[in-house]
Every structure is written in structure tokens, then in C-alpha cells.
Amino acid sequence: MSIFSEVPQAPPVAVFKLTADFREDSHPQKVNLGVGAYRTDECQPWVLPVVKKVERLIVEDSSLNHEYLPILGLPEFRSASSKVALGDDSPAIKENRVGAVQALGGTGALRIGGEFLRRWYNGTNNTATPIYVSAPTWENHNAVFADAGFKDIRPYHYWDGAKKGLDISGLLDDLEKAPEASVFVLHACAHNPTGTDPTQDEWKQIAEVMKRRNLFVFFDSAYQGFASGSLDKDAWAIRYFVSEGFELFVAQSFSKNFGLYNERVGNLTVVAKDNENLTRILSQMEKIVRTTWSNPPSQGARIVSKTLNCPELFAEWKGNVKTMADRVLLMRDQLKAKLQALGTPGTWDHITQQIGMFSFTGLNPKQVEYMIKEKHVYLMASGRINMCGLTSKNIDYVAQSIHDTVTSVQ
């Protein structure tokens, strides 16, 4: 008898199961609009030219070795990453009250931040502090905070299915009613999965309530630069909150905007009231990191650090990011145009109003099932599609498939 005989089979992660099913499908016109990774117009993964260049520089640099990084990570990476989020001229940085923890992608940054908050925020080891995540949100948010020890994870109103936009009054209402000190996970830009972000005015309203009610701000920033093509534009909300005096966390991911998905490059930026508080916070972050991964992996952080800290490479990177963002914008335009040309029932403006990698099509679960089974177009059960999966070669087929689905299935 096995000591593991009582261990139940866990269900697979939905987005990876979708890709596995896609791979097994032999239909010649199959399209994968599931997992969130950039694809070229040839539907291939894209290693950014600047990344290839910097990888070669690194491998030729004999002054580099493989000695352990500090627990909190590569210092030049941490500071450059925080600057990207907060802006070079951020007063908070000048006041020495911004610190960071190099983490394993956005997931790692959320986890370390979550662990810290559970141990030290709103009392000590207060597992009852409510954590609010948007309805809907990235499928892993809930579980990350639960595994960090929080017992009360709740949704806040976000997506208005009827108007296909932001339910700002529902959101504000939840902020007014949440217990003081609740933690809110905010998507800095390019909301996943809806692609719908608050306007600047809406962000201001959100910030006003959060400040008044002492709610904790935890930004998840996985798409900076990728959403609009402009790093600064995509960081507007983060910078606004910092300028309003919030202490906050930002979980940054460089998976998408550097295309470095598998090197796990992330950064938890910490904005504190002052340097003294920051020092104590970082000392406790070290303890959390030490029992999770000890110290972080070097390769991805070196690539990003070299790029961000060198003006020519930084400019080249911004060009690569714009290439990706522009292709997504083009696919958005074309998909909407084709659906309108086909006279597909419904309104399709949301496709170009939404921002970032994803679009919340509005297709319901039955329609999604039809898309997959009958059309071999793979998308998430929520109706979320990855715009990067669209190409000039498959966009007609996808538009036609949506049309057929919407007209056949209610």
C-alpha cells in the first residue's frame, strides 16, 4: 500500500489543459486563442531581438560568474525595474522609500507580497484580513493569496456583462463597504481577462475611496508597455497612487514585455512611508524569500538589467515592445472590422476599446464550447481570447467562426 494512496488527483490548470487539447487536435484550421503569450504573424513565439543581443553579450562576458545573488536579488535589476514602474523622476525613489524584491515572475512577486502581508499587515499573522480580487480576475490570484495563508478572499465588482465595460459604481461601492484595512488587488493596466481598464478619472475616484477607508493597494503589473505601447502611459495608475501618498506593493512581471516567460523575471516593488520602514520591511522579505527559493535566478534578471540600464538597449527594447503592441492593435482593428462586415449580431466595439493582450468577447460557455468543438478555435470558457493568437492568415476563419457561433448558439 502506498503512503500516497489517499492523495487525490488534482484537476489540471485550465489554460494549460486548453493548450494540451489544442496540440492534440489535428484539424488543419485549428487556432489557439488561449494562453497569454505573444505570437508573431506567423503564429510563432518571438524572442525579442534585444534579448538575443543581450544574451550573447552576457555569454561573452568573462567577468560574470554564477555566484549566489543576494537574497533580494540583483541590485541593478531591482532598482531599474522599480524605476520602470514608478518613473525615473519619481519623488518616492528620490526620497529613498522605494525598495524591491526580485521575484519569480509576477506569480512570485504576488506570493512574496502576500506572505508578507499575512505575517505583518493589519496585526501579526492576521489570516482574516479580507483580500479582494476583481470579478473576474486572473485565475491564479485567489489561490496565491490562499496559499499565503489568507482565509477570506472575495471578489469586487468589476466587469459589467450587460454593458461590456467597467462596473465603476459596483467597484466603488465595494470599496466603501469593505472592512477597513482590506487588501485590494488592482490590475495596473490591460486587465486580465477583460482588457477593460478604469479611465484616469475612474482611477482618481478609486484612489479617493481607498485612501479614505485605509485600504491596502496591491498592484499587479504584468503588461507594462504591452498595453498601449507606451511604458509611461501604462504606468499612469501606479504613479498616480504613489503621488497620492499611498504605501503600496507592485508585483511586476517581465514575462510578456520582455518575452522572457520561462526565465521567471519579476519584481515586487515596495513603496513605504520612509526609508526606516522600508528597511524593516525588506529585512522581513529576506526571511520569506530564504525559505521559498533562497535567492533568485540570475539569467533573466541580468538580461533585463543590462537592457534597462543601457540607453541604446533600452530604446531598442521599447521598439520591440511597440512592435508587439502594434500587432495586437492591428488584430483588434481587423477583427472588429471583419465582424462588422459579416453583420455578426451584437456590438463589437469592445474589441477595439479593450486594451492589452486579451479580449473578453462576450461569448457564453455554450458558445465557447461550440467554438472549440465545431470550429477548433480554442479560447477560455470565460470567453477570453488572446489577441496574439490571431494572424493575417487565420483572422478570417476566426471572424467567420465567431459569426457562425453567435448565429447558431444562444
Partner 1 sequence: MSVFRDVTQAVPVAVFKLSQDFNNDQDPNKVNLGVGAYRTDEGLPWVLPVVKKVEKVIAHDDRLNHEYLPILGLPQFRSWASKIALGAASPAVQEDRVGAVQCLGGTGALRIGAEFLRRFHNGSNNTKTPVYVSAPTWENHNAVFASSGFEDVRSYKYWDAQNRGLDLAGFLGDLETCPEHSIFVLHACAHNPTGTDPTQEQWMKIAEVMMRRRLFVFFDSAYQGFASGDLDKDAWAIRYFVSMGFEMFCAQSFSKNFGLYNERVGNLTIVARDPDNLQRVLSQMEKIVRTTWSNPPSQGARLVAITLSDPGLFEDWKANVKTMADRVLLMRAQLQAKLQALGTPGTWGHITQQIGMFSFTGLNPKQVEYMVKERHVYLMASGRINMCGLTTKNIDYVAQSIHATVTSVQ
Q: What are the catalytic residues?
A: 138, 220, 256
Among 111, 336, 375, 376, which residue sits at the site for partner 1 (rule: CB under 8 A)? 111
| Cell digits of residue 142 | 485567489
Among 128, 143, 341, 381, which residue sits at the site for partner 1 (rule: CB under 8 A)? 143
With a CB cutoff of 8 Å and minimum separation 6, the contacts of 244 are 207, 211
Compare residues 198 and 225 and give the one whose CB is closer to partner 1: 225
Compare residues 117 and 166 and give the one whose CB is closer to partner 1: 117
For residues 399 and 64, give the distance between their C-alpha atoms in angstroms, rounded to a whole number: 50
Compare residues 66 and 163 and give the one whose CB is closer to partner 1: 66
**Comparing C-alpha atoms, which of 407, 109, 50 is closest to residue 270?**
109
What does DSSP say about strands 358-360 and 265-271: parallel, antiparallel, or unpaired? unpaired
For residues 80 and 376, give the distance between their C-alpha atoms in angstroms, rounded to a whole number: 43
User: Which window, 156-164, 255-263, 355-363, 401-409, contacts partner 1 (CB under 8 A)?
Assistant: 255-263
Q: How many residues bind partner 1 (CB under 8 A)?
A: 78
Helix 49-60 × helix 311-342 angle, to 10°: 150
User: Which window, 253-261, 312-320, 321-329, 402-410, contacts partner 1 (CB under 8 A)?
Assistant: 253-261
Helix 236-243 × helix 75-86 angle, to 10°: 90
User: Which window, 136-144, 237-245, 355-363, 384-392, contacts partner 1 (CB under 8 A)?
Assistant: 136-144
What part of residues 363-392 is at the interface with partner 1 (CB under 8 A)? none
For residues 67 and 69, give the distance between their C-alpha atoms in angstroms, rounded to a whole number: 6
For residues 325 and 357, give the distance between their C-alpha atoms in angstroms, rounded to a whole number: 8
Among 58, 329, 330, 337, which residue sits at the site for partner 1 (rule: CB under 8 A)? 58
Whole-number CA gyration radius for the chain: 22
Compare residues 3 and 162 and give the one whose CB is closer to partner 1: 3
Q: How far is the CB of 362 from partner 1 (least distance, A)?
A: 27
b/e 171-190 (16+ beta carbons within 10 angstroms → b): bbebbeebeeebbbbbbbbb
Distance of CA 17 to the CA centre of its chain: 20
Q: How far is the CB of 268 from partner 1 (least distance, A)?
A: 13
Compare residues 142 and 205 and give the one whose CB is closer to partner 1: 142
| Cell digits of residue 29 | 484550421
Q: How far is the CB of 333 from partner 1 (least distance, A)?
A: 27
For residues 74 and 317, give the distance between their C-alpha atoms in angstroms, rounded to a whole number: 20
Q: What is the CB-side half-sphere exposure of residue 239 using CA atoms within 13 A? A: 19
Q: How far is the CB of 214 from partner 1 (least distance, A)?
A: 8
Q: How far is the CB of 162 from partner 1 (least distance, A)?
A: 33
Compare residues 68 and 312 and give the one whose CB is closer to partner 1: 68
Query: Is position 263 an interface residue for partner 1 (rule: CB under 8 A)?
Result: yes
What part of residues 277-336 is at the interface with partner 1 (CB under 8 A)? 277, 279-281, 283-284, 286-288, 290-300
Among 17, 23, 56, 233, which residue sits at the site for partner 1 (rule: CB under 8 A)? 56
| Cell digits of residue 188 | 495596473
Identify each DSSP E strand in 338-381 by its residue range.
358-360, 377-378
What part of residues 154-193 is at the interface with partner 1 (CB under 8 A)? 181
Compare residues 33 and 69 and give the one whose CB is closer to partner 1: 69
Q: How far is the CB of 122 from partner 1 (least distance, A)?
A: 8
Q: How far is the CB of 110 from partner 1 (least distance, A)?
A: 9
Query: Is position 349 an interface residue for partner 1 (rule: CB under 8 A)?
Result: no
| Cell digits of residue 130 | 479580507
Query: Is position 222 an interface residue for partner 1 (rule: CB under 8 A)?
Result: no
With a CB cutoff of 8 Å and minimum separation 6, the contacts of 54 are 303, 306, 307, 313
Among 26, 42, 68, 343, which residue sits at the site for partner 1 (rule: CB under 8 A)? 68
What part of residues 13-42 is at the interface with partner 1 (CB under 8 A)? 13, 16, 35, 37
Q: What is the CB-side half-sphere exposure of residue 73 using CA atoms within 13 A? A: 35
